[in-house]
Amino acid sequence: MVQYNLKKITVVPNGKEMIDIVLSRTQRQTPTVVHKGYAISRLRQFYMRKVKYTQQNFHEKLSAIIDEFPRLDDIHPFYGDLLHVLYNKDHYKLALGQVNTARNLISKISKDYVKLLKYGDSLYRCKCLKVAALGRMCTVLKRISPSLAYLEQVRQHMARLPSIDPNTRTILICGYPNVGKSSFMNKITRADVDVQPYAFTTKSLFVGHTDYKYLRYQVIDTPGILDRPFEDRNIIEMCSITALAHLRAAILFFLDISGSCGYTIAQQAALFHSIKSLFMNKPLIIVCNKTDLLAFDNIPEEDKKLVMDMKAEALKTVIGQGGEATNEEEGVLLTMSTLTEEGVMAVKNAACDRLLDQRVELKMKSKKINDCLNRFHVAMPKPRDQKERPACIPQGVLEAKAKEAAEKAEKEHRITERQLEDENGGAGVYSASLKKHYILANDEWKEDIMPEFLDGHNVYDFVDPDILHRLEELEREEGLRLADEAEEDFEMDGEELTVEEKEALAEIRRKKSILIQEHRLKKSTAGSRAVVPRKFDKDRKFTTERMGRQLTKIGIDPSAAILRARSKSRGQKRQRSPEVGGEGDVMDMDVEQPNNKKLRALSRPRSRSLSRPPGEVVPGEGFKDSIQKVKAINLAKKSSKKRNKNAHKGEGDRVIPNLKPKHLYSGKRGIGKTDRR
Which CATH number belongs to the domain containing residue 203 in this structure?
3.40.50.300
- Domain assignment of residue 267, yes or no: yes
∠ CA(516), CA(521), CA(526), 5° rounding? 120
How far is the C-alpha of 96 from the C-alpha of 12, rounded, in Å? 12
**What per-residue confidence (pLDDT) applies to 488?**
58
3-state secondary structure of 543: coil
User: 246: Cβ–Cβ under 8 A, 6 or more apart, which residues?
Assistant: 76, 77, 78, 81, 166
User: 32: Cβ–Cβ under 8 A, 6 or more apart, which residues?
Assistant: none
> Is there a single domain that holds both residue 152 and residue 188?
no
pTM value is 0.52
Number of domains, the chain: 2
Residues across the chain: 677
Task: Supply the range of the domain harboring residue 250.
Answer: 163-366
In eight-state DSSP terms, residue 558 is -
- Domain assignment of residue 294, yes or no: yes
Is the dihedral angle over the CA atoms 171, 172, 176, 178 positive or is it negative? positive
| pLDDT-wise least confident of 70-79, 575-584, 650-659 | 575-584
> Is there a single domain that holds both residue 120 and residue 228?
no
Partners of 252 in beta bridges = 173, 285
Beta pairing, strands 206-212 & 215-221:
antiparallel
> Is there a single domain that holds both residue 143 and residue 200?
no
3-state secondary structure of 9: coil
> Higher confidence at residue 193 or residue 116?
116
How far is the C-alpha of 60 from the C-alpha of 663, rounded, in Å? 44
> Is there a single domain that holds both residue 57 and residue 150?
yes
> Is there a single domain that holds both residue 134 and residue 210?
no
Q: Which of 100, 133, 157 is the last residue of a domain?
A: 157
How far is the C-alpha of 603 from the C-alpha of 650, rounded, in Å? 45
- Domain assignment of residue 27, yes or no: yes
In eight-state DSSP terms, residue 282 is S
Is the dihedral angle over the CA atoms 35, 40, 46, 51 positive or is it negative? positive
User: 112: Cβ–Cβ under 8 A, 6 or more apart, which residues?
Assistant: none
Partners of 175 in beta bridges = 254
Kindly report the number of other CB atoms within 10 A of residue 406's CB atom: 10
**What per-residue confidence (pLDDT) applies to 585?**
42
- Domain assignment of residue 620, yes or no: no
- Domain assignment of residue 350, yes or no: yes
User: 593: Cβ–Cβ under 8 A, 6 or more apart, which residues?
Assistant: 578, 587
Q: Which of 350, 366, 382 is the last residue of a domain?
A: 366
pLDDT, mean of residues 125-135: 94
Phi–psi pair at 559, nearest 5 degrees = -65, -45
| pLDDT-wise least confident of 136-145, 226-235, 444-453, 667-676 | 667-676
**What per-residue confidence (pLDDT) applies to 676?**
52
> Is there a single domain that holds both residue 231 and residue 110?
no
Which CATH number belongs to the domain containing residue 112 in this structure?
1.20.120.1190
Q: Which of 104, 131, 157 is the last residue of a domain?
A: 157
**What per-residue confidence (pLDDT) applies to 217?**
92
Q: Which of 95-99, 436-440, 663-667 has the highest mean pLDDT?
A: 95-99
Please state the separation of Cα 242 from the chain's center in Å.
40
How far is the C-alpha of 223 from the C-alpha of 241, rounded, in Å? 9
> Is there a single domain that holds both residue 139 and residue 272?
no
> Is there a single domain that holds both residue 183 and residue 314?
yes
How far is the C-alpha of 414 from the C-alpha of 395, rounded, in Å? 29
> Is there a single domain that holds both residue 137 and residue 181?
no
How far is the C-alpha of 467 from the C-alpha of 482, rounded, in Å? 23
> Is there a single domain that holds both residue 107 and residue 185?
no
**What per-residue confidence (pLDDT) applies to 619?**
81
> Is there a single domain that holds both residue 73 and residue 194?
no
Cβ distance 575 to 603 under 8 Å?
Answer: yes
* Among candidate residues 572, 549, 571, the one with its CA nearest the CA of residue 562: 549
Write out pLDDT tens, residues 46-59. 999 999 999 999 99
Write out pLDDT tens, residues 202-259. 888 899 999 998 899 999 999 988 888 878 888 888 888 888 888 889 999 998 888 8
At 552, the pLDDT band (50, 70, 90 cuts) reads confident
Write out pLDDT tens, residues 655-670. 887 877 777 777 766 6
Helices 123-143 and 15-29, packing angle to 10 deg:
150
> Is there a single domain that holds both residue 335 and residue 227?
yes
- Domain assignment of residue 285, yes or no: yes
- Domain assignment of residue 96, yes or no: yes
- How many helices (H) and strands (E) are present in the chain, helices listed first? 22, 8
669 Rama class: left (phi>0) / alpha (psi -120 to 50) / beta: beta
Cβ distance 252 to 171 under 8 Å?
Answer: yes
- Domain assignment of residue 197, yes or no: yes
How far is the C-alpha of 480 from the C-alpha of 168, rounded, in Å? 96
Helices 40-68 and 89-117, packing angle to 10 deg:
170
How far is the C-alpha of 337 from the C-alpha of 340, rounded, in Å? 6
Write out pLDDT tens, residues 589-646. 444 444 555 555 555 555 445 567 888 888 878 888 999 999 999 999 998 898 888 8
